[in-house]
Amino acid sequence: MHTLGEVVADLLEEAYLAEYYESTWFKDNDPESSLLLTLDQLTHEQASRKPAVGRYTVAAHAAHVLFALEVGLAYARGEQPRPDWESSWGTSSVDEEGWARLREDLRRKAKEWIAFVRKVPTLPEDPNHARGLLGSLAHAAYHLGAVRQLVADVMKRS
């Protein structure tokens, strides 16, 4: 028998880290289709390339997802952060060192979040905690899809 946390953590791993699964629940079976492996395929120039008007760069998505993970981990530690979600989109371009650091920070925080979620035995009593837990999976899946679409466009223009 698996706990809710184990199941959600497995799906978060699929979104953020997984190289390959025999079968997947929502991402491609392409070995490099998780969020971090998708980001690893890009140079800092590609990640910083402006997409269509009104859309964020891949770097901005990565920074926003990192911010969201940091907020989730703060709540997990019992803190009460007051996140500025608008500023989480402030990174639109990165240099080579900044891109490497952003991806490494994102990888580390994703693993930290997954480890926390894996320990959650059942649906939390507090509905906001439950929404945060399940919402983090939806958030990861959304940004995985958005980034994959942006990368397809970036690769066409490279």
Q: Domains plus CATH for the chain? A: 4-156 (1.20.120)
The residue to which tokens 């140079």 are assigned: 43
Taking CA atoms, 141 is separated from 12, 73, 94, 126, in Å, by 8, 18, 23, 23
pTM assigned to the model: 0.91
How far is the CA of 127 from the CAs of 11, 17, 133, in angstroms? 21, 28, 10
Quickly state the pLDDT bin for 42 (edges 50, 70, 90): very high
Q: Is 34 within 8 Å of 40 (Cβ atoms)? A: no
Summarised one tens digit per residue, pLDDT across range 50-59 is: 887 788 999 9
Vertex 144: Cα angle to 150 and 7 (nearest 5):
170
Closest-CA residue to 65 (of 156, 158, 145, 153): 145
Q: What's the pLDDT band for 152 if we cut at 50, 70, 90?
A: confident
